[in-house]
Structure 1
Amino acid sequence: MPYGEDGEVAIEATALTKRYGEKAALDGFDLKVPAGSVCALLGPNGAGKTTAVRILTTLLRPDSGTAVVAGHDAVRDLSAVRYRIGLVGQDASLDEVLSGRENLVLFGRLYHLSAGQARARAAELLDQFGLTEAADRSVAGYSGGMRRRLDLAASLILTPPVLFLDEPTTGLDPRARIEVWQAIRSLVGGGTTVLLTTQYLEEADQLADRIAVIDAGRVVAEGTPDELKAKVGPDRVETVTRKPSLDEVFLHLTGRSARTITSQEAASA
């Protein structure tokens, strides 16, 4: 169905492949994300998550396969796709010398907004992400959560319908992670489609309508959080009648049988 109609698909990848020498970063990667939803791409380091995002955001060409984003071919129609997406990478793309407001105005000008339009859009985004009080402070003094929210704001200068978030909360403390989660929920509530890569199971569970598990460059499982949980088996409750010793914790975590633990192993526990 064409993009822009009810039930449309915002992101669709079909049989994407990408190799680096003998290494297959993507090996038949398929994905379909309905508009207005959050899809979490979950997998270990090296599974192909970032490669997939780079292809879908036109930063990398696949060796084969097709990718359509917001109704446009991400391989042949780069400009149209770039105009309709936002991207928040693993590293914040902010100038720490500038204030939060100055950063957003700068991005607005890079997107060819007039000076007045850029200032107005910056003010809107600062208010939307709860950064108005810190707007005129240098970004060097921002907390991790504030920087990530400002990075999100910068990706939304043109209000793109599709937003890519590549491990947006890596390295953040729990409070900062929750702040970013709240910002993402607010965006989705406004109709934005989000593709989120993460290594955090809790993050995928909290934010995603659907989860695609990727390993060795291809999707190996897909479904809602509840559907994927159901594949593991029924719920299990374990009761502990006493507090375990550190030795027992060590043996449980390492999967070893009960035996004498060396002083070196005990120290590493």
Structure 2
Amino acid sequence: MSESRTPPGGPVRPDTGVAHNARVWNHWIGGKDNYEVDRKVGDQVASIIPVVRDIARADRDFLGRAVTYLTRERGVRQFLDIGTGLPTADNTHEIAQRIAPDARVVYVDNDPIVLVHARTLLTGSPEGATDYIDADVHDPGTIVRRAAETLDLTRPVAVMMLGILNFVLDTGAALDIVRRIMAAVPSGSYLVLTHPTADPEVGGEPQVPAMEFWNENATPPITARSAADVTAFLEGLHLVEPGLVSCSQWRAAPGSTPVVPQYGAVAVKP
């Protein structure tokens, strides 16, 4: 049976006066769950860093390849997706449950507009389970405690942190969040992450002015990190080939996509 719970009740009133990441991201990937302010800011960011729409699509495609790989080739049946964002086609539970109908997926976000759409996310296979937690990435204790209501934390879990640690501006705090969550899952679990970078090796220089504009005109504030900084999140884990690379290149067909300034990696807890 599907064990899904309804998100907390009461009116949810997204702030439509300020651009918000989930809605701008939705605009970049061609969605319709956004407002004029999101489109204006998103288009301005795209004028500063024209590959931003490629980044958004590459991040989404990386999610698909990573979930498919972990479900099909590594036998993962549990996913904790932190920083869900707005639902689109091929969300984590849809990909996993197509391959393994008994897969269990817990989504985590604290964005009001994501909460509005949570019931869509909670439509999973009858054999598996799909749940939604309204929680903040800065509160890993609550995330772990509530995820344990749906996931068996004695069995491997794929922790998905795609484009979320960049909203934790303090690197020490971000490291602590990752370590606390990974400490709560057993050996054989995975960390799947993406993170924007300003590294010139992957064309990241325009990220700097783009993020400066973003932080002045949108919410929440964001930061880029170097390959060395992102590698620190993976300390103590074993990287799956090809390691830390542009997310567009992770297990993608050679030459099929351009390199984007967004790192991606999958690593297993020994």
TM-score under structure 2 normalisation?
0.34
Which structure has more relative contact order (CA 8 Å, sep 6+)? It is 1
Q: Which has the larger radius of gyration?
A: 1
Structure ranking higher in strand proportion: 1
TM-score under structure 1 normalisation?
0.34
